[in-house]
Amino acid sequence: MLRPSRRSNRLLRMEHVVRIRGEVVTRMIEEARREPSMECCGLLAGSGLEISAILPARNALASPSEFEIAPKELFRMFRELRASCLDHLGIYHSHPAGDNAPSTRDIERAFYPDVAYFVVSPLPDAPRPVRAFSIRESRVTELAIETLG
């Protein structure tokens, strides 16, 4: 059980901090580099406020500048999450060409206001290969990433 002080601290910070297991961050970068000419994508999940699982998906557009998870695959993934009692906490994709901030299209197509949007750069010299954002009603706020374990 959380002590009250810790819980209120967590609530204050949850808006701008996302907590994620180190191995999930590593795996996202691996996925982005595996096919560096195409955007990779997938879901992130966990319990409470901590991301502990990654579910890579196929980019149905097979494009270097946009991504889409086919509805059928998305439904299958959500079923999988429910079956494993995991919450959907994030969506990740890569930007092969460089700047890993959300594009205009990413902002227009951010349909989940309560999850963290991770954008990954496959470039070896990227200053920050993994960045996270909250996108709500077209407002983008960068989240600090707290890596665990």
Mapping DSSP onto H, E and C, the string for 79-119 reads HHHHHCCCEEEEEEEECCCCCCCCCHHHHHCCCCCCCEEEE
**Nearer Cβ to Zn ion, position 30 or 66?**
66
Minimum CB distance to Zn ion smaller for 41 or for 54: 41
The one segment of 3-11, 78-86, 102-110, 128-136 that binds Zn ion by CB under 5 A: 102-110
CB of 94 to Zn ion, least distance (A): 8
CA distances from 74 to 47, 66, 78, 87, 129 (A): 19, 17, 6, 14, 25
Size of the chain in residues: 149
The rounded distance, in Å, linking the Cα atoms of 38 and 99 is 15
Q: Tell whether residue 147 is a contact of Zn ion (CB under 5 A).
A: no
Selected range binding Zn ion among 53-61, 95-103, 110-118, 121-129, rule: CB under 5 A? 95-103
68 binds Zn ion (CB under 5 A): no
Q: Using the rule CB under 5 A, give the single segment among 6-14, 103-111, 123-131, 137-145 that binds Zn ion.
A: 103-111
| Rounded least distance, CB 125 to Zn ion, Å | 19
Q: Which of 103, 126, 145, 147 binds Zn ion (CB under 5 A)?
A: 103
Residues between 117 and 146 that touch Zn ion (CB under 5 A)? none
The answer to whether the CB of 106 falls within 8 A of the CB of 131 is: no
Nearest Cα to Cα of residue 120 among 94, 99, 138, 145: 94
Could you list the residues that contact Zn ion (CB under 5 A)? 103, 106
